[in-house]
Structure 1
Amino acid sequence: MQTNLALFTDLYELSMAQAYFDEAMTEKAVFSLFVRRLPSRRNYLLACGLDTVLDYLENLRFEEEDIAYLASLGKFSERFLDYLRDFRFSGSVYAVPEGTPVFANEPLLEVEAPLLEAQIIETFVMNQMHVQTVLASKAQRLVTAAEGRPVIDFGPRRMHGVDAALKAARAFYIGGVAATSNVLAGKVYQVPVAGTMAHSYIQAHDDEREAFRNFVHLYPNTILLVDTYDTLEGVRRAIELSETLGEEFKIRGVRLDSGDLLKLSREVRQLLDQAGMSHVEILVSGGLDEDKIADLVAAQAPIDGYGVGTSMGVSQDAPDLDIAYKLCEYAGKGRLKLSTGKPILPGRKQVFRVSDQGEFQQDVIARVDEDQPGRPLLEAVMQEGKRLEAGRVSLESARAYASEQLASLPDSVRAIRPPESPYSVKISSRLSDYQKEVEDRVQESMEVV
């Protein structure tokens, strides 16, 4: 796996950086990363990916092999390549903590750094904040639908590449998923791992009973996959082995991976209970999403947990966000675009979250130096290229924080269905006035002959 990521950037980032370098445009800039609008099936997003971004910024280096490749393109001067040899990120980052519910146009993070530095990092910052926020947000919907029953990540094999599957397991865990089948994620992030068998194990044996017996002997208290051939017959065979072998045949649960899960789960529960195996859990998988899980929960299906693969792994219903990383200040002046439908709020900003009796009521996007009611969400996590204490948050802490913050959302916003009234996000009058002031300045500059 590629670990030196300095060249993970779009070519135009480096082309612009060389132009800034030649023009001596070295003053500080502020770039804001935000989502312009929420997907139609998202009432909020769960911010995720900050830890990955901060690690990248602390360790960003152009190695000699990177410099040699850039030189081979014939686009960059020796003076600029020498600059890249000594490149270190020296700026500051202000961000909402991972696990914070966020809404349209609210900065997930803002970077304040010399213009060249802030420009070069754009691709990586957007990439990681995008994919992890997409996946944490999707995972939370599934966890919400399951209403306290564990959701397990079964998706690595169908995700879009190794890095996506690895970062997904981390994002899912922050979003409330209980465990992952991804062993590498277990090692790298200490996420709990889970998994027992596939249909191929049963198929490889001449007899289903033999397969069950051998697996339980090797892994006591396991979960058996019972629908390779006939689901109910598979359960009966597990019951038969339990009665024959007694204490030697200990299973914790059975898994259903196909068919009418509501009907089958009820029939399987009845068979197990009649056999005195009421302690045996029923887990299900196979093409699940939040809507199917919500329907099963609403129908009171006797299901104890859900394994979810593709729909969560690629966020099937909303695989991308209208995410942007835009210059909003340079050399102390607010900057923006006048493009239709793509507004930019100028200058450094703060988001204030107003609560009433423990429930979030409204957010206000304001200028950074404003004093507004509510809790400020953006905090300094990096200065002079080094992480601050606020940027050193464990995965378990981020998961706990997300759970706490989500519990404070209004029920209608936390639900998987669209609320009658979206969560209120306002722009402060001072920020609106400043935006108009910057717009007027830009318009005047366009009219100068």
Structure 2
Amino acid sequence: MNRPKSLFLTEESLGIVTDLYQLTMAAGYFDQKMQDVATFELFVRHLPKNRSYLITAGLEEVLHYLTHIKFSTEAVKFIRELPAFNNVSNGFFEYLKNFTFSGTVYAIPEGNIAFADEPLIRVSAPIIETQIIETYLLSTINFQTSIATKASRVVYAAKSREVIDFGTRRAHGPQAGVLAARASFIGGCNGTSNVFAAYELGIPAVGTIAHSWVMAFENEQDSFYKFHEVFPDDTTLLIDTYDTLVGAKHAAMIGKKLKGVRIDSGDLTKLSKDVRKILDTEGLQHVKIVASGDLNEDRIDDLLRKGALIDSFGVGTEMVTSKDAPALGGIYKLVEQEYDGKSIPRMKFSEDKLTYPCKKQVYRTVDREGNFMEDVIGLEGEKIGGIPLLIPVMKEGKICYTLPTIYEIQRTASDNLAHLPEPFRRLKDAQAYPVIKSQGLEAKRQEAERVLRSINMT
């Protein structure tokens, strides 16, 4: 009889959370005795629609992965029995059994703003190692960076009002819900409805009640009083189950201990004004009005422009799926390879997908107030003014970086956004932030392309 499976990731499964072709290439490198160091860079080629910047997120999970990845005996047995590996030597499977990551990693720390083409992570390690880890790195960085960026836009639209992540039930699975809660907090949210995320990350857990609570009692008033009996110091009531304005009057009967009311449907602008009037008439000016229901940055911006009297927003589906731009499209490309003690530039120049060779650094120029002016993507060690953004986070397989708390990461994001000039941050029609390639990098690209074309195009 089949038993149900959770399909949750465990440390035992980290090695095989990858695409098959990573392992077939790894087997090929092993067979060809290719153990020289290769450097890959992870970057986003094009920003998604309505995105003028990225908030970097996911690095902590990447570092956990790199320090814990292994192939269990059962995983190696499974790989060995795949048809693709019929002719692969036993030595490769012994290699997998003893696999550890031994490389060096540079990265832009989480919470920093980055732009298209800028390397977010740079990995140097024996080429087998750099290949095996690609899938996990892309999946982790793409998703969390996408959600952190989306959340920052929602928070920006809310204009200093509280924003809570309500999205777990609409996320693409429970694991995605946890990661989205983390990324949303980095992007500026004040808390999450996800209890596990709050437990693991130490961020505020926030929640009210559902319509089912109200419907489970004989009448709305009774449901409100009974909830208040259990939670006298934290009573926020959902008031739109039957009639929002009547619900507001029923909620007001709780008196001064009432903390908030939530509206989940209808004309939120008009209803918030009417509810505010009801509450204020009863002397409940302190009671917060929470709005939810398919909200996003554009709708929140529109509500506030129309004068909605909303104190807090619960945002779910639109934020934790980045609904308007659900896939970030980050890529991970070979840029340099050591061979006989020499560093060989690597690049591709297929149509519309040209990449730049060599290890790179991002140099950011700021004005006297710290406001961002321009980024230059240059060669590592190139004499360029500006602040280098990529820093060493791992050397020889060991973390060499003090991991910030999630609150520190959130502050980094907030500080970065505060120094991104308004024309580059607008929700709509934002200007493209200036990112240029250095002269040294352009020269290397031209030289590498000439050499590679002479080898591969004849």
Matched, 1:330 2:337: yes
2:172 & 2:456 partners in 1: Cα distance?
44
2:172 to 146, 160, 172: 160
Structure 2 SS opposite 1:352: strand
Equivalent runs, 1:144-183 vs 2, <5 Å: 144-183=156-195
Q: Once the two structures are superposed, what CA deviation does each residue of 1:316-375 show, in whole Å capped at 9, x if it has no partner? A: 000012211000111111101111111211111000010012210000000001121110
Q: How far is 1:389 from its partner?
A: 2.3
Residue 102 in 1 paired to residue 114 in 2?
Answer: yes
Q: 2: CA distance between counterparts of 1:345 and 1:188?
A: 39
Q: Does 1:428 align with 2:435?
A: no
- SS for the counterpart of 1:380 is strand
| AA matched with 1:422 | A
Query: Could you tell me which residue of structure 2 aligns to residue 240 of structure 1?
Result: 253
Of residues 124, 129, 143, the one that matches 2:141 is 129
* Displacement of 1:447: 4.5
Q: Is the 8 A contact 1:31 1:328 kept in 2?
A: yes
CA distance in 1, matches of 2:313, 2:284: 20
1:190-269 paired onto structure 2 within 5 Å: 190-221=202-233, 222-242=235-255, 250-269=257-276
The Cα shift of 1:2 comes to: 2.4
Alpha-carbon deviation of 1:396? 1.4
Select which of 66, 69, 72 maps to 1:57: 66
**SS, match of residue 262 in structure 2:** strand
Partners of 2:335 and 2:41 in 1: how far apart?
A: 7
- C-alpha distance in structure 1 between counterparts of 2:176 and 2:26, whole Å: 28
Secondary structure at the aligned position of 2:378 is classed as strand
Unaligned ranges ≥5, structure 1:
none
- Aligned pair partner of 2:40 in 25, 31, 48: 31
Measure how far apart 1:239 and its partner are. Answer: 2.3
1:67 maps to which residue? Answer: 76
Equivalence for 1:441:
451
SS in structure 1 at match of 2:61:
helix
How far apart are 1:187 and its partner, in Å?
1.2
Q: What amino acid maps onto 1:196 in structure 2?
A: T
Structure 1 residue 54: Cα displacement: 0.5
Higher relative contact order (CA 8 A, sep 6+): 1
The residue number in structure 2 matching 1:374 is: 386
2:20 match: 11
User: 2:80, 2:244 → 1: CA distance?
Assistant: 62
Identify which of 84, 92, 96 aligns with 1:80. 92
**Inter-CA distance 25–208: structure 2 relative to 1 (3 Å threshold):** same
Structure 1 runs, 4 residues or longer, greater than 3 Å off: none
Q: Is the 8 A contact 1:169 1:191 kept in 2?
A: no
Separation in structure 2 between the aligned mates of residue 32 and residue 239 of structure 1, nearest angstrom:
57
Q: CA deviation at 1:241?
A: 4.3
**SS of 1:442 mapped into structure 2:** helix
Q: Distance in 2 between matches of 1:38 and 1:425?
A: 13
2:438 aligned partner, one-letter code? S
Contact kept, 8 Å, 2:142 with 2:329, in 1: the verdict is no
Q: Distance in 1 between matches of 2:355 and 2:203?
A: 37
* TM-score of the pair, normalised by structure 2: 0.94
**Quick one: distance in 2 between partners of 1:344 and 1:114?**
21
Q: What does the per-residue CA deviation read over 1:406-448, in whole Å, with 9 as the maximum and x for residues that have no partner?
A: 11101121221122x3100000000000000000000110245
Question: Partners of 1:158 and 1:447 in 2: how far apart?
Answer: 49
Partner residue, 1:279:
286
Once the two structures are superposed, residues 108-130 of structure 1 have per-residue CA deviations (whole angstroms, 9 ceiling, x without a partner) of 11101110000000000000000
TM-score, normalisation: structure 1: 0.96
What one-letter code is carried by the residue in structure 2 that aligns with 1:330?
Q
Identity, % of aligned positions: 45
Which secondary structure state, in structure 1, belongs to the residue aligned with residue 122 of structure 2?
strand
Pairs aligned (count): 440
Partners of 2:38 and 2:429 lie apart in 1 by 37
1:113 is aligned to 2:125: yes
1:308 to 2:319 alignment = no
Distance in 1 between residues matched to 2:56 and 2:254, nearest whole Å? 48
- 8 Å CA contact retained: 1:209, 1:241: no
Q: Deviations over 1:259-317 (max 9, x none)?
A: 00000000001111111111111010001010010111222211100000100011000
1:28/1:330 contact within 8 Å kept: yes
Helix, strand or coil at the partner of 2:445: helix
Q: Does 1:400 align with 2:399?
A: no
Q: Within 1, Cα distance between the matches of 2:406 and 2:71?
A: 29
- SS in structure 2 opposite 1:116? helix
Contact 1:329 1:347 in 2 (8 A): yes
Structure 2 CA distance for aligned equivalents of residues 88 and 50 of structure 1: 19
Equivalent residues of 1:42, 1:418 under 8 A apart: no
Distance 1:52 1:254 in 2: 36
Deviation string for 1:209-263 (max 9, x for gaps)?
1000010111113111000000000111122343xxxx6xx11110000000000
Contact 1:159 1:314 in 2 (8 A): yes
SS at match of 2:415: helix
Please state if 1:317 is matched with 2:331.
no
* 3-state SS of paired residue (1:254): strand
Please tell me whether the aligned partners of residues 379 and 440 of structure 2 are also in contact (alpha carbons under 8 angstroms): yes
Q: Which amino acid aligns with 2:227?
A: F
CA RMSD of aligned residues (A): 1.1
Q: 1:300 is matched by which residue type in structure 2? A: G
Which residue type is aligned with residue 166 of structure 1? V
Compared with structure 1, are the counterparts of its residues 39 and 447 closer, same or farther at alpha carbon in structure 2 (3 Å cutoff)?
closer
d(CA) in 2 for partners of 1:203, 1:447: 71
In 1, the alpha carbon distance for the partners of 2:320 and 2:34 equals 42
